Amino acid sequence: MLVLSGGTVVDADGARGADVVVEDGRIERVGDAPSHPDRVVDVDGMYVAPGLIDTHVHLMMDGGPDPESNRDLSDFEAAYRATANLERALESGVTTLRDLGSLGSLAIDAAAAVEDGLIDGPRVQACGETVVMTGGHGHWFGREADGPDEVRKAAREQLKRGADAVKTMATGGVLTEGALTGAPELTEEELAALVDAAGAKGRQTAAHAHGAEGIKNAVRAGITSVEHGTFMDREAAQLMADRGTYWVPTAAALHGIVEEGTAAGIPEWAVEKAEEAAEAFDDAFDYALDEGVPIAMGTDAGTPFNFFGDIPRELELLVDHGLTPEGALEAATVNAADLLGLDDVGLVAEGYRADLVVLPDDPLEDPSVWQDVRTVIADGDVVA
């Protein structure tokens, strides 16, 4: 039995002074601790919060300036990199993450390795390979498919591998040379075929979609979450709110490219596209917040200068773009858990998994404190 003693619990249900009692990987009690626990961690004056959930990462990427340089990675190099990324994410306070596109079965295998205790890391969900149109965004690490039947088959291939979700590219993107960032790629009919295949196995779907038309295609097709959504217009936001489609903004992805620029080795064409997207991003946030679009945290970790150890910065960026600190906390915990279909993470509550972080100050007052984690507990074990 482990007791976090004397701290303030803070989660989507608010803040309250309470001990947190952990046993067999679960939270047994939030309240007064028993008399003789096996281990006590004194957290007096500190804050106990849920571990963070990042719903959009790429385990095969290392934050280098040009993701396409990863196309020549050997399977062994990719596995070592994924292992290092998982360790850094866990140390930063991330206890669950979702990989939305890596080479082959890399991320699916990483999920099994974490679950089996072979490597240290957050709990992993994975989509396998991303389904893309021939020559589309991210084609070099995706599964190319054209037409509803091919797309359906490509989705089924990922599910056969053991994918927890199916990811697709509904529009072009910033980090593929020649792709038009907001231009639709897969059609609404193709996207619907992918959703149908995933739904038959009870799996969620995610669509990379920058442009408004591509976002609307994805939402009408029944996609579970829109990733990036940079050029979202009000009509798209209204449609997402009406359908309950999650938005995963990945603010850190654009910031990493725009802040570092070509001087850091990022291709000029990628910087130009990122700068154009960044100009529209604030409007997208305004539309989403005005219309009540549900938001879950995701970072696109692995993209240029967007490192796994820096994932908690996303909460501060979400607040900078208009969310309240409470809203950012919800996006990174209960909303992210809901998006991933998890009903036992995201709160500091009896019966939930003991995925916890200890912070020195109140994250509802200062969201930057998520970047200063003092203790990380995953499945009841103190891991950092």
Asked if pLDDT for residue 70 goes beyond 80, the answer is yes
Condensed to tens digits (0 to 9), the pLDDT of residues 273-297 reads: 999 999 999 999 999 999 999 999 9
Asked if pLDDT for residue 35 goes beyond 80, the answer is no
Helix, strand or coil for residue 54?
strand
Q: Which residue intervals of 222-322 are DSSP H helices?
A: 234-243, 251-260, 268-291, 313-320
Q: What is the residue extent of each domain of the chain?
A: 2-50+347-382, 52-311
Question: Mean pLDDT, to the nearest integer, of 37-59?
Answer: 96
Contact 191, 217 (CB under 8 A): yes
Distance CA 138, CA 303 (A): 12
Residue 194 phi/psi, 5-degree rounding, is -65, -45
What's the pLDDT at 71? 87
Condensed to tens digits (0 to 9), the pLDDT of residues 51-62 reads: 999 999 999 999
pLDDT-above-70 percentage for the chain:
100
Q: Tokens for 244?
A: 């309950």
Class of domain 2-50+347-382: mainly beta
- Least confident segment among 10-14, 54-58, 67-71, 232-236: 67-71
Instruction: Output the CA torsion sign for 102, 108, 113, 115.
Output: positive
Distance CA 305, CA 106 (A): 22
What's the pLDDT at 68? 87
Q: How confident is the model at residue 32 (pLDDT cuts 50, 70, 90)?
A: confident
Report yes or no on whether pTM surpasses 0.95: yes
Give strand ranges (E) for 137-185: 142-144, 165-169
Question: Mean pLDDT, to the nearest integer, of 230-258?
Answer: 97
Q: How confident is the model at residue 312 (pLDDT cuts 50, 70, 90)?
A: very high
Q: How far is CA 296 from CA 153, 267, 314, in A?
A: 29, 29, 11
Taking the C-alpha atoms of 175, 179, 181 and 182 in order, what is their torsion angle to the nearest 10 degrees? -150
What's the pLDDT at 27? 97
Asked if pLDDT for residue 240 goes beyond 80, the answer is yes
User: How do 142-144 and 130-132 pair as beta strands?
Assistant: parallel
Distance CA 63, CA 43 (A): 34
Condensed to tens digits (0 to 9), the pLDDT of residues 199-222 reads: 999 999 999 999 999 999 999 999
Amino acid code (one letter) for 218? A
Taking the C-alpha atoms of 173, 179, 181 and 184 in order, what is their torsion angle to the nearest 10 degrees? -100
Asked if pLDDT for residue 135 goes beyond 90, the answer is yes
Fold for the domain defined by 52-311: TIM Barrel (3.20.20)
Domains 2-50+347-382 and 52-311 share a fold: no
Condensed to tens digits (0 to 9), the pLDDT of residues 106-128 reads: 999 999 999 999 999 999 999 99
Condensed to tens digits (0 to 9), the pLDDT of residues 77-93 reads: 999 999 999 999 999 99
What's the pLDDT at 36? 78
At CA 382, angle to CA 381 and CA 384, rounded to 5? 140
